[in-house]
Amino acid sequence: MPLTLEQLNAATPQEATTLLDGVYEHSPWIAQRALDARPFRSLAHLKHALVRAVATATVDEQLGLIRAHPELAGKAMVAKSLTAESTNEQNKAGLTNCTPEEFARIQQLNADYNARFGFPFILAVRGPRGTGLTKAEIIATFERRVHHHPDFERAEALRNIHRIAEIRLNDKFGASNTLGEMVWDWQEALAVHSDPGYAQQGQLTVTYLTDAHRAAARQIAQTMQEVGFDSVHIDAVGNVVGRYEGLTPDAKTLLTGSHYDTVRNGGKYDGRLGIYVPMACVKALKDQGRRLPFAFEVVGFAEEEGQRYKATFLGSGALIGDFNPAWLDQQDADGITMRAAMAHAGLKPEDIPKIRRDPSKYLGFVEVHIEQGPVLNELDLPLGIVTSINGSVRFVGEVIGMASHAGTTPMDRRRDAACAVAELILFAEQRAARDPDSVATVGMLQVPSGSINVVPGHCKFSLDIRAPQDAQRDAVVADVLAALKDICERRGVRYTLEETMRAAAAPSAPAWQQRWERAVESLGLPIFRMPSGAGHDAMKLHEVMPQAMLFVRGLNSGISHNPLESSTSDDMQLAVQALQHLLDNLALEPQP
């Protein structure tokens, strides 16, 4: 019989600790402390309470927890002295069945890792889907993590321990994540389509209107049909549009979706998660034979990343009437115009104006997206509520000083262009850090034809500044530009600066942000609010209707635009449940 939350909530502290035995390896103190948070409202709430117990423990207690774990395929496994839980996990990962070479490699890594960090390598070998990582994935992760900084690796070990505990709790409680697993599997299946050259290397690249892109669109459309959308079509720019109608034909529509194109060698979840999570909700509604008092429209946007052509947010832009016809004459790297690519795909550019939506028929836009950053992962939180998509400004500039001999020019007689930019970079770092949620980055830095024995006469740089509100961003920009002027005057150098991009912030509509907050709270999770540092399709819809986004934790420090991008089926399940709550609560509100 699986354990229930009612049993756990009703048990004495001692009984409850026993009921949670084996979730955290040889560490009953974690369960004991977490019990203070009873009654647990959900399994997610219990998991979070356990995570908090570890997060608030001392470093020595945390290290004790890490050291209570066996080595991977280590002596304890060979001697068959592992706990039942660990034996099951190492078995499932095939670690009990290594070739002699694999076994030797893992032993070497175990030794290197332990020597570097003083604790065993911990990996949730059942992986993000719970079905087990391959031995190759395990060894690759091991090889990557042995190079981490010790502080980071201790936290990463704890995160893996929490993931191990999460899977053990699912087993103990007989919890099923059917919808989250479906979403995970859909994304895995969609990732088989990749552009030529990348597909052969096992990399995921899906750029606008390539064969892989069109195959991906067909696959999304087919899945929409299978789960029970009332209508599915691919529109004039290649967006996949599915509608699940409301109770009445005149009902307004809630719009959601995200993009299915990817960057080069990108991740499987960026964009796609925001298409499949709502599709899982429609499947559940259809299976229950339920209709909402509003229609639900899910759009897989054809293009967001601007990889093949210099046209970002093409898919969502077209929905708000923001498609620039001049884009049609742009050529890709092979000289194929967008017009030709569209004709090849059977799309009619003359129909693009027709897909513009009438905002008066829409309630608003919501978007689920993988965070693409480290914050939720570091805080051990599955979901975050977006307060605003940051406004951004970008510049490219150059400081012009005077090149001179590195040996003969005394320090007080230099006009060093690179030193001026270095001072600017540090100022920008400190200025942005003074604000909550402002960021400033110099990502490109170059001394053109520099030489080891020459004081730099020129230094080129980029500058990217973002903040949740335009006024906040502009204040940072003003201070950084004033600093550049001062630095250059003081150092006797001059500069050029060109603004190359400016995008307005898209603050979440308060009512929609609150709907996400209520949904997350109803799952038993804390409300965590954060800005989006990256741009998203919601920025486009923001121009014509209220919008708010939900972020889902990414693993591996939230890395994105990278094959290491990852998220668990448990977190995807929570995202589906959050959206279901939002839909259900919206259904109870008076309909406009």
Q: Which of residues 37-66 bind Zn ion (CB under 5 A)?
A: none
Closer residue to Zn ion, CB minimum distance, 409 or 562: 562
With CA atoms as reference, report the closest residue to 367 among 293, 272, 295, 290.
272
| The token pair that represents 123 in the structure block | 């990996």
| DSSP symbols for 90-106 | HHHTTGGG--HHHHHHH
| Burial tier of 144 (Cβ tally within 10 Å: 0-12, 13-18, 19+) | exposed
Shortest spacing between CB 200 and Zn ion, in angstroms: 25
Which span (264-272, 416-424, 473-481, 519-527) binds Zn ion, by CB under 5 A? 264-272
Closer residue to Zn ion, CB minimum distance, 25 or 270: 270
Which span (202-210, 269-277, 442-450, 479-487) binds Zn ion, by CB under 5 A? 269-277
Shortest spacing between CB 369 and Zn ion, in angstroms: 6
Which span (270-278, 489-497, 507-515, 563-571) binds Zn ion, by CB under 5 A? 270-278
| The token pair that represents 516 in the structure block | 């996400």
Query: Cβ(509)–Cβ(547) under 8 Å?
Result: yes
Shortest spacing between CB 312 and Zn ion, in angstroms: 11
Closer residue to Zn ion, CB minimum distance, 473 or 536: 536
Shortest spacing between CB 34 and Zn ion, in angstroms: 35
Closer residue to Zn ion, CB minimum distance, 291 or 466: 466
Distance CA 427, CA 179 (A): 48
Closer residue to Zn ion, CB minimum distance, 153 or 270: 270
Query: Cβ(245)–Cβ(343) under 8 Å?
Result: no
156 binds Zn ion (CB under 5 A): no
Query: Cβ(255)–Cβ(365) under 8 Å?
Result: yes
Which span (87-95, 235-243, 266-274, 519-527) binds Zn ion, by CB under 5 A? 266-274
Shortest spacing between CB 188 and Zn ion, in angstroms: 18
Rounded to 5°, the CA angle 327-544-238 comes to 40
Distance CA 204, CA 228 (A): 28
Shortest spacing between CB 58 and Zn ion, in angstroms: 39
With CA atoms as reference, report the closest residue to 254 among 291, 224, 292, 295.
295
Shortest spacing between CB 390 and Zn ion, in angstroms: 14
**135-145 helix and 100-117 helix, angle to the nearest 10 degrees:** 30
Task: Please tell me the total number of residues recorded for the chain in this structure.
Answer: 592
Shortest spacing between CB 535 and Zn ion, in angstroms: 8
Shortest spacing between CB 271 and Zn ion, in angstroms: 4
Distance CA 487, CA 177 (A): 57
> Measured in Å, how far apart are the chain's first and last C-alpha atoms?
47
Closer residue to Zn ion, CB minimum distance, 163 or 272: 272
Which span (7-15, 70-78, 232-240, 263-271) binds Zn ion, by CB under 5 A? 263-271
Distance CA 80, CA 213 (A): 49
271 binds Zn ion (CB under 5 A): yes
Shortest spacing between CB 239 and Zn ion, in angstroms: 15
| The token pair that represents 546 in the structure block | 């209220």
C-alpha atoms less than 13 angstroms from C-alpha of 227 in its C-beta half-sphere: 25
Closer residue to Zn ion, CB minimum distance, 94 or 306: 306
Shortest spacing between CB 286 and Zn ion, in angstroms: 27
56, amino acid identity: T
- Element containing residue 436 per DSSP (H, E): none
C-alpha atoms less than 13 angstroms from C-alpha of 462 in its C-beta half-sphere: 8
Shortest spacing between CB 539 and Zn ion, in angstroms: 11
| The token pair that represents 312 in the structure block | 């970002």
Closer residue to Zn ion, CB minimum distance, 246 or 535: 535
Closer residue to Zn ion, CB minimum distance, 180 or 554: 554
Closer residue to Zn ion, CB minimum distance, 373 or 401: 373
270 binds Zn ion (CB under 5 A): yes
343, amino acid identity: A
180 binds Zn ion (CB under 5 A): no
Closer residue to Zn ion, CB minimum distance, 162 or 268: 268
| Total site size for Zn ion, rule CB under 5 A | 2
Distance CA 149, CA 156 (A): 10
Closer residue to Zn ion, CB minimum distance, 53 or 572: 572
Distance CA 320, CA 326 (A): 17
Which span (268-276, 411-419, 444-452, 578-586) binds Zn ion, by CB under 5 A? 268-276
Which span (64-72, 267-275, 355-363, 462-470) binds Zn ion, by CB under 5 A? 267-275
267 binds Zn ion (CB under 5 A): no
Which span (53-61, 265-273, 409-417, 434-442) binds Zn ion, by CB under 5 A? 265-273
Q: Which of residues 331-390 bind Zn ion (CB under 5 A)?
A: none
Which span (156-164, 216-224, 271-279, 482-490) binds Zn ion, by CB under 5 A? 271-279
Shortest spacing between CB 519 and Zn ion, in angstroms: 21
| The token pair that represents 99 in the structure block | 């070739």
Closer residue to Zn ion, CB minimum distance, 110 or 262: 262
With CA atoms as reference, report the closest residue to 237 among 385, 358, 347, 400.
347
> What b/e readout covers 562-588, taking b as 16+ CB neighbours within 10 angstroms?
eeebbbbbbbbbbbbbbbbbbbeebee
Query: Cβ(524)–Cβ(44) under 8 Å?
Result: yes
Q: Which residues bind Zn ion (CB under 5 A)?
A: 270-271
